[in-house]
A = this chain, B = another copy of it.
């Protein structure tokens, strides 16, 4: 049984709290939050505290707070002889300052409060300076997910960068699709099966094999017709994406 303390009450913290409470092989000893009201609903399920000097003993302390706050927070932790990890995709393991052993426990998914998350298929990227602790982290990750990867800080930074493209930017393209539909009284739901299939396709064939469309075909007539119909910022995105695809395939 691995004992865990969660430090934080945001999206990642609350999803981890929920899944660890349901996991037999994990003992969630305590949850800390600066604001006790954020975690009062956990009172009957685990110990809660807003006093950072009053942490219980545990094998792993999981800092799940905003990226910028990790370093400062980690300095003030009075923990020895245990593993302290953060959950950030973009923060190096070296941001953790203190006399404890260090690690990273990064679940790569888009978390929103309120939405249900099935951790089984969420990739968890783990890292530690100590090979013993890395094994403990792998065990902890495997207790909630089938997809556990050992990824160092440099690789994790790149993964996070990739995630900006395939999540943040992709979502913005969905938004433009939505705009175009709304402006023309077409229900956006007509595009949703296409969106789903596009995402599914690249789990079977590579994105490069899946590429289609006027840019791929270098169909300049259609491209021109499209550009004439777009608003300014839509047009800029259309141009850059089309140029990039044309360069890639021609």
A151 CA / B240 CA spacing, docked (Å)? 30
Chain B residues near A162 (CB-CB < 8 A) = 176-178, 180-181, 186, 191
Interface flag for A43 (CB, 8 Å): no
Most chain B C-beta atoms within 10 Å of own C-beta, residue among A108, A158, A186:
A186
Is A168 within 8 A of B202, CB to CB? no
Contact of A194 among B108, B234, B241 (CB under 8 A): B108
Total number of A residues with any Cβ neighbor in B under 8 Å: 88
Smallest distance from the beta carbon of A171 to chain B beta carbons, Å? 5
Q: A171-194 interface mask toward B, CB cutoff 8 Å, 1 = contact, 0 = none?
A: 111111110110111110111111
Interface flag for A62 (CB, 8 Å): no
* Copies of the protein in its oligomer: 2
Is B190 within 8 A of A123, CB to CB? yes
Chain B residues near A234 (CB-CB < 8 A) = 165
- Consensus secondary structure, chain A interface: helix
Smallest distance from the beta carbon of A226 to chain B beta carbons, Å? 6
Most chain B C-beta atoms within 10 Å of own C-beta, residue among A149, A202, A236:
A202
The chain B residue sitting closest to A125, CB to CB, is B190
A-side residues, CB < 8 A to B, are 67, 90, 108-110, 112, 115, 121-123, 125, 147, 149, 151, 154-155, 157-159, 161-178, 180-181, 183-187, 189-208, 210-216, 222, 225-226, 229-230, 233-234, 236-238, 240-241, 243-245, 247-248
